[in-house]
Structure 1
Amino acid sequence: MPLRVLALLAALAVSAPALAQDRAAVEQQFRGWLEQTIWPRARAEGVSRGTFDSAFSGVSLNWELPDLVPPGTTRQTPRTQRQAEFGAPSKYFNRGSVTGATSVGRRMAGRHASTLAAVERSTGVPGHIILAIWGRESGYGRVDIPHDAFEVLGTKGFMSTRADYFTDELVAALEIAEAGHAPERAMKSSWAGALGQPQFMPSSFLDYAADGDGDGRADIWRSEADTIASIGTYLNRHGWRPGRDWGFEVTVPRSVSCTLEGPDQGRPIRDWAAMGIDRVSGRAFPEHELNGEGFLMMPAGRNGPAFIVTPNFYVLKDYNMSDLYALFVGHVGDRIAYGMGDFETSWDPVGTMYRSDIAKMQRGLQARGHDVGGADGLPGFKTRRSIGRWQENTGRAATCFPESGMTSALAG
């Protein structure tokens, strides 16, 4: 056997126990962090020692969670994106997800008509929007939520890219447990730490959970009425504007630059219409919307549907900071309420790119003076329009969406 192969095998034999030792040492640091950092904060918020010990009984670090930065390591942009909301638009709007959320949503609209009407009267949020969020978050309570909330929040609070945020959420989860809000053994979460049927982060539960069935409790785990009321309350307190829609699919002529996208470039909807932007299928914008502010939104640049959205679209983004998420909710809500079909414009195939490659592209744009919103590997609106501006400045046709060939061009 060649010497190089023997050396490699020897190194691997040594590295496996070394890795186990390193993880064991980190686990010890984790236990110390819980005692020295989390327990004093929890105690100050009224959490008892019994609740604290019960929450972390048998809990260890979950090394499979994304965006971890173990002690002694440095943060790196991951190659792939685990969260669907930041992936390819066409995949996010797969037919199964859209039609499933729509068909069950219509049944739920009938089953909970009185609750939805009451919540709409009190919050101003349309029932079909609440239903669409509920469907996306937990499949109307049917999706399994598999993780231990204290394991997830503990891991991410101790060693993630947003450690301070998750530390605060961990303390909030302990407050929920102390107050007895959750049914026994119900503190399960998503891999991001979200709880119950509306998938509230713990702090959101403390701030926005509402009693929709009049029993004096806000139970987002078992009560569908409380889930509906809690979602409506959340959107209301984040600024939902009653009487306004979320947005409209439009056609954008080539004379209108895709670099005009973004919530900081709003103008009255009548002005967008005067520029030649029309609703699809020739339908006019509602008269009452014309003087209201609208924003161009092109989540796939020139490679897919375009929209004029209202401030309510950005309220939906407060629920989940993703253009695709907010668009999914608005679209499914329209299908539930009005029987609308697919988008008029299809999503063109776009090449799969690693987050790390998009981050390189973003750094190249930053070096040229563009504000991309951070080199995180996620093509948000600032990155999309920066790509378009770079394309226009260099004589290229503006698509406002990352493509694999751009990485090398921007690295130079």
Structure 2
Amino acid sequence: MKLLTVLLTTIAFLTTQAHAQNKLAIEEQYQGWLSQTIWPQARAKGISADTFSAAFAGVTLNWKLPDLVPPGTKAAVPKKQRQTEFGSPGKYFNRGSVDGATSVGRRTARKHTNTLRSVESKTGIPGRIILAIWGRESGYGRVAIPHDVFEVLGTKAFMSTRKDYFEQELIAALEIVQAGHVPRGAMKSSWAGALGQPQFMPSSFLKYAADGNGDGRVDIWTSEADTIASIGAYLDEHGWVSGRDWGVEVTVPSSVSCTLEGPDQGRLISKWEEMGIKRVSGRPFPDHESRSEGYLLMPAGRKGPAFIVTPNFYVLKDYNMSDLYALFVGHVGDRIQYGLGDVSARWSAVDKLYRSDIAAMQRSLERQGHDVGGADGLPGFKTRRSIGRWQKANGQQATCFPERGIDLN
């Protein structure tokens, strides 16, 4: 027994040592990659050697970041759940997040009334929507942003599932420092590389960040006015339709299939009304909305609330591609301005599935000719309605949401 213990201890030690040596070798590859691949691109963009050296002084790879693909390994769909879409969508709307964003949002609205009105007048973006995004992204500037952006973007550009994208963002971050928008030490980001109170990726800062207080600078780190103006500019440039809402909760009769969900299956809202879809408030849709196109949104299929949304909902998704994010922003914005309560329909309990489980379902559906939007393990609207179509074709009631009992083979 003693000999076995010694043997196992030795094996563990050697494994750990080999792992450490492998990491050290990859770190050396990383430093070479910075000088041979990133520096020439940075120099071509006007980045000085001093700026480049300061940006990466003491920076090493961050091995704790998600979705890394070290050299010599292959990408895999992670089994560990990382996003709320993998469990009940209702968790995204937890009491603390919704109430906190609403109450602080109302106080912030009073504090920045003039700036919000000015931005809304210029862009058409309602102040309540700007506030809800600000609250979700950084708690109105109260949430600490912990990571060094060059560590994050450098790591992801060198070894992640989206290396090309993060390489471009890394160059953009260098441009921000080179232009003097913010000191190198203030370049803190999220784990994904997003900056400041509105959590802009560096390229978005360069394109959309705006001066909201007229001081001639653009500061999304400490200026609340610039943060408001920048969010407004982003939504404006992405096509927000002035005068239209983002959407509204509705009841969907059983005669209307959940497979009709999606922005590519839009119809006049008056047509949805003729099919029996009604606002939960019981009030009719406003005339200008009824004459315009709307889209069915059922983020939990038949296991949760339903909405008719407008093109503005998909502008919110340009800020963050999650249906639930856009829904949270619209819902909290309405609570801030109109004092609305929770959604009426209940978010039913759903099976807790790993991302790999959903990816397996998606691959099976793809083999059968369904367009699920890619086997990425995320149950977006294409996956939801494909599940519903499969259920209908196989004589089952369409729920349009992943469930553990569904056998797609």
TM-score range, shorter chain: over 0.9
Q: Which residue of 2 aligns with 1:27?
A: 27
Q: Which residue of 1 aligns with 2:37?
A: 37
What SS does the aligned partner of 1:282 have?
coil
What SS does the aligned partner of 1:168 have?
helix
Query: 2:115 is matched by which residue type in structure 1?
Result: T
CA contact (8 A) 1:298 1:305 kept: yes
Q: Which residue of 2 aligns with 1:275?
A: 275
Report the Cα offset of residue 84 of structure 1: 4.4
Q: Which runs of 4+ in 1 moved over 6 A?
A: 2-6
The 1:9–1:393 alpha-carbon spacing in structure 2 relative to 1, beyond 3 Å, is farther
TM-score where L is the length of structure 2 = 0.98
CA contact (8 A) 1:85 1:325 kept: no
Q: Which residue of 2 aligns with 1:129?
A: 129
Q: Deviations over 1:319-365 (max 9, x none)?
A: 00000000000000000111110001011111211001111111111
CA contact (8 A) 1:249 1:307 kept: yes
**2 CA distance for matches of 1:50 and 1:32?**
18
Report the Cα offset of residue 10 of structure 1: 4.0
**2 CA distance for matches of 1:44 and 1:19?**
37
Q: Which residue of 2 aligns with 1:398?
A: 398
Report the Cα offset of residue 270 of structure 1: 0.4
**Aligned counterparts, 1:30-109, within 5 A:** 30-84=30-84, 88-109=88-109
**Aligned counterparts, 1:157-306, within 5 A:** 157-183=157-183, 185-306=185-306
Query: 1:288 is matched by which residue type in structure 2?
Result: H
The 1:400–1:126 alpha-carbon spacing in structure 2 relative to 1, beyond 3 Å, is same
CA contact (8 A) 2:86 2:354 kept: no
The 1:385–1:85 alpha-carbon spacing in structure 2 relative to 1, beyond 3 Å, is closer
The 1:256–1:2 alpha-carbon spacing in structure 2 relative to 1, beyond 3 Å, is farther
**1 CA distance for matches of 2:218 and 2:19?**
44
- Name structure 1 gaps, 5 residues minimum: none
Query: 1:376 is matched by which residue type in structure 2?
Result: D
Aligned residues: 409
Query: 1:222 is matched by which residue type in structure 2?
Result: T
The 1:263–1:222 alpha-carbon spacing in structure 2 relative to 1, beyond 3 Å, is same
**Identical counterparts, % of pairs:** 72
**2 CA distance for matches of 1:248 and 1:70?**
44
**2 CA distance for matches of 1:184 and 1:69?**
27
Report the Cα offset of residue 13 of structure 1: 2.4
Report the Cα offset of residue 282 of structure 1: 1.0
Report the Cα offset of residue 125 of structure 1: 0.3
**2 CA distance for matches of 1:4 and 1:72?**
32
CA contact (8 A) 1:86 1:322 kept: no
Query: 2:379 is matched by which residue type in structure 1?
Result: P
The 1:363–1:36 alpha-carbon spacing in structure 2 relative to 1, beyond 3 Å, is same
**1 CA distance for matches of 2:226 and 2:314?**
24
- Name structure 2 gaps, 5 residues minimum: none
Report the Cα offset of residue 287 of structure 1: 1.2
TM-score where L is the length of structure 1 = 0.97
**1 CA distance for matches of 2:170 and 2:44?**
14
Q: Which residue of 2 aligns with 1:315?
A: 315
**1 CA distance for matches of 2:10 and 2:394?**
52
Q: Which residue of 2 aligns with 1:324?
A: 324
CA contact (8 A) 2:210 2:218 kept: yes
